[in-house]
């Protein structure tokens, strides 16, 4: 089996998630191709299944992933495909935030024409050490309001790696 993993990232955590999925697939003796959506990935037609991973920032997924999915939505709809939506909301237990996240994801899927077999919401990370001063300040205030981590001297990863392993079973 050949698995394509396409990702878009802002601070790098979604790339880390995509690399993790690639390694887990290879442990299962699946040939996996890992592609950054900003670097013109090949057609998904060359693969048996596709995982698309992107993070949401300010209510939108990265434009590179949107362009990839729009271009290839017909192929993606004919094959096993999975969308991994990465966000801090997935780490929280706030019904209103989850409702908003699911609506943003639905809007993305409607605008691209893609109907993945499954959407996996996975928690991202607060990467304070990668943010500029303004973003670090804003993210700290948001996290403080939500009762989250506010120590800006280090990064805080909320991804449930064990749960993420099980995602592969949805496409292979």
- Judge whether 56 lies within some domain: yes
- Judge whether 156 lies within some domain: no
Q: Which residues 6+ apart lie within 8 Å of 64 measured at CB?
A: 8, 36, 37, 38
Please state the domain count of the chain.
Answer: 1
- Judge whether 43 lies within some domain: yes
Q: Which CATH number covers residue 112?
A: 3.40.50.360
- Judge whether 94 lies within some domain: yes
The CB density around residue 6, as the number of other CB atoms within 10 Å, is 25
What is the domain extent for residue 83? 2-127+161-170
Q: Which residues 6+ apart lie within 8 Å of 135 measured at CB?
A: none
- Judge whether 137 lies within some domain: no
Per-residue pLDDT of the chain (172 residues; tens, 9 = 90+): 999 999 999 999 999 999 999 999 999 999 999 999 999 999 999 999 999 999 998 889 999 999 999 999 999 999 999 999 999 888 888 889 899 999 999 999 999 999 999 999 999 999 999 999 999 999 999 888 888 899 999 999 999 999 999 998 889 8
- Judge whether 122 lies within some domain: yes
């Amino acid at each position: 089996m050949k698995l394509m993993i396409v990702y878009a990232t802002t601070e790098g955590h979604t790339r880390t998630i995509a690399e993790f999925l690639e390694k887990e697939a290879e442990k299962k003796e699946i040939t996996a191709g890992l592609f950054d959506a900003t670097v013109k990935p090949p057609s998904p037609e060359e693969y048996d299944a596709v995982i698309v991973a992107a993070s949401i920032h300010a209510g939108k997924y990265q434009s590179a992933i949107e362009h990839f999915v729009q271009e290839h939505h017909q192929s993606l709809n004919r094959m096993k495909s999975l969308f991994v939506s990465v966000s801090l909301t997935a780490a929280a237990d706030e019904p209103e935030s989850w409702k908003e996240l699911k609506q943003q994801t639905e809007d993305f899927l409607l605008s691209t024409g893609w109907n993945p077999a499954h959407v996996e919401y996975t928690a991202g990370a607060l990467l304070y050490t990668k943010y500029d001063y303004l973003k670090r300040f804003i993210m700290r205030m948001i996290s403080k309001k939500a009762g989250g981590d506010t120590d800006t001297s280090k990064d805080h990863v909320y991804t449930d790696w064990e749960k993420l392993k099980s995602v592969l079973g949805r496409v292979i």
